[in-house]
Structure 1
């Protein structure tokens, strides 16, 4: 009997065609709608492999329903949607898709920084609504990016790629990371600072950390108070790292100048979320890796991880407990 696989979202045929010769495949046949929890609970019972997205919560309850499950392949870098501890205790491998989305996410992060700093979305709406009647000296003025200080919280692959882009704008670079990266400091011309000092000196702060128990609500009321009133906060990592209630209040009170957000604590974010009501917030629907080429690479890597694990090989991107 061939191993069984369940895929939680419709993927392009060219991505999964290589699996068909060796595995029995079932797949949720919707691209825009996540698989309902009750469907996933039934499908997971007898499968050997599961390919999932961030939209699925692969918690202990779901894992305990899976009698034959050997591998969970997440089509994402982050894996906070998976109870890795429970999976590991059951001998179930967990994989992710790092590396392939680094440059694309760095592009989006810097683009969001520019759009927020220069009020691009607000200006576009201003034009489309017929408000542009004349030129005036301080109309829709924003913050300069060139020559400003960029603070990167989380100098991983994406953080390094972002730093390279910022150098092209002659930005001054500082970073905070759980451990110092001396080689990158020399290569990128970036200085290490404790997070409190970074928040105080930076004109732009970019969050590029995974969401873990240690980073949850890492940026809250006290941290936001350290920032300049002219500063901009960008998050393309994970919602939940920033306390959204505290951020809303800081933006409303103009304690910081603006924010650019590609991620939220609950996704999809409600259209009546308070942050969406503020003019000094640019919001995006979690599109950090959303280029055609990158999403295809992510899917292909998730499929390869799945196939390797079910073939008895160690997948290239195995998530270990000490990395969660």
Structure 2
């Protein structure tokens, strides 16, 4: 059986399915692999199932490479130098589709928590500082009927748009690098991220992380936002200039932020953790049993197809 390295523990049904077809080595460690570990693994295994944080840069593709497939666990693959992999004769797959609804749900969670000051209220209550209800306590922002701006109108962006429009009656504006013929809801496509930012009461980032989108959300975008607006990121951390976000929050240029991802993850700046108007989650976008299992099974499907000589269901 082909030798397969799984870089971090996955749900049990996924491991069972993988072991039925492959000689599996499970790295039972929750931290990402180092560059040297990954480079060595490339020489020892027929396939690797990596995930977020396992940085397969150009340096990983050196020596007597045995690996022929990187079956990524996750839709995002910015941690993999795909061009270097393909130059080395290594195919790459990912797990789109399975992540869509769960990630969109986290966007809604962050929008509501930040606009309604839910995190701030829970911290106050847990600290024993709640003195009881009164009419002007923790007044937040109403989201129903407001305008949501979405940066990136792919599967996840469209799922967010549906939730905002049908669930909260929000108007939808968006920016996408290519023309979107059908956003799934009444929506207006605008030419630049700054134009979307200028109209949005809530600005949500749903962009893929690529060299082209690095720091696409920057000081200019935050300067265009309303001082009452909230920024939400459920995509990848490095699409945002985190220093510019912190500066905008400190200056009161925007009202708050809800973040599930960070530019230098897992490091989160103290400037963010100290702010009451910022909701911070530990990258929970796909963190449900059902979704993580579906992602793992999709990765296994790609592995099985490859070693059966069939086309990859989800090639990158």
Residue 298 of structure 2 corresponds to which residue in structure 1? Answer: 301
Query: Which of the numbers 98, 121, 132 marks the counterpart of 1:100?
Result: 98
Q: Aligned in 2, Cα 1:228/1:21: closer, same or farther, shift over 3 Å?
A: closer
**SS in structure 2 opposite 1:189?**
coil
TM-score (norm 1): 0.93
Pairwise CA distance, 1:36: 4.5
Q: Aligned in 2, Cα 1:80/1:66: closer, same or farther, shift over 3 Å?
A: farther
Residue 322 of structure 1 corresponds to which residue in structure 2? Answer: none
Query: Which of the numbers 309, 314, 319 marks the counterpart of 2:311?
Result: 314
TM-score (norm 2): 0.95
Tell me the distance in 2 between the aligned counterparts of 1:25 and 1:289. Answer: 24
Tell me the distance in 2 between the aligned counterparts of 1:172 and 1:12. Answer: 38
- Count of residues in correspondence between the two structures: 314
Tell me the distance in 2 between the aligned counterparts of 1:193 and 1:19. Answer: 44
Tell me the distance in 2 between the aligned counterparts of 1:306 and 1:215. Answer: 29
**SS in structure 2 opposite 1:183?**
coil
8 Å CA contact retained: 2:13, 2:293: no
8 Å CA contact retained: 1:16, 1:303: no
Q: 274-283 or 80-89, which moves further after superposition? A: 274-283
Q: 62-71 or 253-262, which moves further after superposition? A: 62-71
Q: Aligned in 2, Cα 1:66/1:160: closer, same or farther, shift over 3 Å?
A: farther
Q: Aligned in 2, Cα 1:161/1:66: closer, same or farther, shift over 3 Å?
A: farther
Pairwise CA distance, 1:12: 3.4
Pairwise CA distance, 1:38: 4.0
The within-5 A match list for 1:38-53 is 38-53=36-51
The within-5 A match list for 1:236-247 is 236-247=234-245
The within-5 A match list for 1:117-196 is 117-167=115-165, 168-184=167-183, 187-195=184-192, 196=194
Deviations along 1:216-270, whole A, 9 cap, x unmatched? 1111112111100000000000001111111101101110000000000112124
Tell me the distance in 2 between the aligned counterparts of 1:111 and 1:290. Answer: 13
8 Å CA contact retained: 2:222, 2:254: yes
Across the aligned residues of Structure 1 and Structure 2, the Cα RMSD in angstroms comes to 1.5
Stretches of structure 1 lacking an aligned partner (at least 5 in a row): 320-324
Tell me the distance in 2 between the aligned counterparts of 1:22 and 1:241. Answer: 37
Tell me the distance in 1 between the aligned counterparts of 2:42 and 2:139. Answer: 53
